[in-house]
Amino acid sequence: MEEVVIQADKLTKKFGDFTATDAITFQVRKGEIFGFLGANGAGKTTAMRMLCGLSVPTSGEAKVAGFDIYKETESIKKNIGYMSQKFSLYEDLTVVENIRFFGGIYGLNNEQIKNKTEELIERLGLTSVRKELVVDLPLGWKQKLSFSIAIIHQPKIVFLDEPTGGVDPLTRRQFWELIYEAAHNGITVFVTTHYMDEAEYCDRLSIMVDGKIKALDTPKNLKMQFEAESMDEVFYKLARQATRAE
Amino acid sequence: MRTIKFLLYKEFKQIFRNRSIVALILFMPVMQLLILPWAADYAVKNINVALVDQDHSTYTQELISKISGSNYFNIVSTDASYDKAYRSIESDAADLVLLIPPNFKRDLVKNKTQKLFLAVNAINGTKANLGAAYMQEVIKEYNGKLQTEIHSVGRNSTPHRAEVTFSNWYNPHLSYKVFMVPGILAILVTMVGGFLSALNIVKEKEVGTIEQVNVTPIKKHHFILGKMIPFWVLGNVVFTLGLIVSWVIYGIVPVGSLLLLYGFIAVYLLAVLGFGLLVSTYSETQQQAMFVMYFFMMVFILMGGLFTPIESMPEWAQETIKINPLSYLIRVLRMIVLKGSTFSDIVPHLLTIALFAIGLNGWAMLNYKKTN
């Protein structure tokens, strides 16, 4: 039995009368790439924010990296990385300054920061723009930088909320190479996406409709289960059932 | 401590990269201190007088030259008809009409009394009231002189006349600039500190960077200190610039101790920054924070005792002064800068401001949540 790093049990979040996430139950195993699919407004981001300790659940239980999401949010935060949907590095700082800042507040020592900086810049091919303000970088570069900063402290799990939205196909591919590399280094990847070709890259997938998880399996099994040719078709069959207005 | 170092480095980088903030910090206090004290002056000058002289005697000539000789009045017209003069009040050309009735001199000498008529344009209440008071003063003085002249003819006795003389302590020349400059400086420090801290944190919310910070294991008080220290330093810079301007331009050198002055400002800035922080924890956008800050700043400034004396406010308004931090700063700055008050004089104010600082920061700290 492989180690479970995320364990969610009937996790629910309500905003007034609106149930954004409705009693979702699932497990994520160490080292896997877990795809978290769903139409816009299905409740993916809400679920992810609860798991990251940014949002308190209304009910249900969950453990992330072995820590309780009610009481031990700060311990969770030491063990996870998070890349939100909205680009959220400091645009008025340079590439190097951003790396240094986040490395610093994750508690890396000066030498680690220095090594990480060189490694990242080299790895992402940012040498020529290392002293440029982040605001001036193209979106694809920003996203790759954001991802690398989210795992700068070698977390156990990294949460990626639509990391490749609006990015060109070539950069998306490079981005997924980074994801594979991280997974290869033992980082569990929890990722939401709207691109079904990306869904195929995941080890296992869950598909949310109206706040509930309607399907959860490997891409291959899901296609068999729904008698579909592609993930596109699986998603379409499920998402069509949605009654929630966007 | 290491975390704070990284936060400070980041914050200062961002501040110095933002030119409008640097301009705000450097030029706003200097410009405002250069301009405002000249305009914010209570002394009423240039009161426009429309004269209606129906006597045309040597006495009226003398009175008129007395009026125009004072620095307060401009005689804008001299007419024989009251209606015409009254119209100049209506058209805002005159603030006062002084009517000198026919046979002014004759009746005065004969009957020993005479009436002058004064009509006041009270739209601008302060100007009109002060104008009328100045005018009465001039007339009284003139009257006194006339009486002595009339009575001393024939008799050699001078009537007893008592005069009250004043000496204005702490501001011997009654210069309004001396009075206004410390107050304006107090407002500047409050505005810069309050707005900078409120807007900065809300901006991080708006852009979304705060989420990236909240998902790190950073401690709440580290983050808040990382925000407060830079603005505290900037607040002190603004204050120092202000002191230099008031010394170079207005020759105001604090009579009291500089150390005491900076000690008070240090605590005061904590209170103001705490207030900005509190506003930012309740606001989602910079626009919201801006409006909330403006609301409070307007109240703080208009009811802070700079433009109108606290003692003449209605009682309920005087009560609100107690929770207006700016009013304490204005008072204490005037005390130390103009009167040379010492530590023991300002202790009650210092304690109150320290309470503000603790209360506001504590509240903000409780209300700032990494997890919603």
Structural domain count of chain A: 1
Same domain, B212 and B288: yes
Instruction: Report if residue B236 sits inside a domain.
Output: yes
Chain A contact set for B209 (CB, 8 A)? 88-90
Segment among A198-207, B34-43, B247-256, B291-300 with least mean pLDDT:
B34-43
Q: How much is the average pLDDT of A29-36?
A: 93
Q: Where residue B231 falls among pLDDT bands split at 50, 70, 90?
A: very high
What percent of chain B has pLDDT above 90?
A: 42
The half-sphere exposure of A236 on its side-chain side, counting CA atoms within 13 A, is: 7
Instruction: Report if residue B170 sits inside a domain.
Output: no
How big is chain A, counted in residues? 246
- Domain coverage including residue A222: 4-89+160-239
Instruction: Report if residue A32 sits inside a domain.
Output: yes
Same domain, B119 and B200: no
Same domain, B198 and B256: yes
DSSP track, B113-125: ----EEEE-TTSH
Chain B contact set for A56 (CB, 8 A)? 371-372
Residue A232 sits in a domain whose CATH number is 3.40.50.300
Q: How many CB atoms lie within 10 A of CB B167?
A: 5
Instruction: Report if residue B244 sits inside a domain.
Output: yes
Chain A contact set for B2 (CB, 8 A)? 104, 107
Q: Is the dihedral of CA B272, B278, B281, B283 positive or negative?
A: negative
Average pLDDT, chain A: 91
Chain B contact set for A87 (CB, 8 A)? 208
Instruction: Report if residue B372 sits inside a domain.
Output: no
- Domain coverage including residue B137: 47-152
Instruction: Report if residue B163 sits inside a domain.
Output: no
Residue B39 CA to residue B183 CA, distance in Å, equals: 14
To the nearest whole angstrom, how far is the Cα of B233 from the nearest Cα of chain A?
Answer: 21
Same domain, B336 and B195: yes
User: Out of B14, B208, B211, whose CB is closest to A93?
Assistant: B14
Q: Is the pLDDT of residue B155 over 60?
A: no
Task: Please say whether the beta carbons of B305 and B331 come within 8 A.
Answer: yes
Given B107, B137, B152, the domain boundary residue is: B152
Token output for B294: 């403006």
Instruction: Report if residue B174 sits inside a domain.
Output: no
Query: In which order are the strands placed within the sheet that holds A67-68?
Result: A18-29, A4-15, A59-64, A67-68
Q: Where residue B314 falls among pLDDT bands split at 50, 70, 90?
A: confident
Q: Is this prediction's ipTM beyond 0.90?
A: no
User: Out of B10, B213, B372, whose CB is closest to A93?
Assistant: B10
Residue A62 CA to residue A25 CA, distance in Å, equals: 9
Segment among A58-67, A85-94, A133-142, B18-27 with least mean pLDDT:
B18-27
Residue B348 CA to residue B328 CA, distance in Å, equals: 10
From B11, which residue of chain A is nearest by alpha-carbon distance? A93
Q: What is the pLDDT of residue B121?
A: 76
Q: What is the pLDDT of residue A29?
A: 93
Counting one residue from A and one from B, how many pairs have CB atoms under 8 Å apart?
Answer: 75
- Is A93 within 8 Å of B213 when comparing Cβ atoms? no
Same domain, B24 and B147: no
Residue B87 CA to residue B108 CA, distance in Å, equals: 29
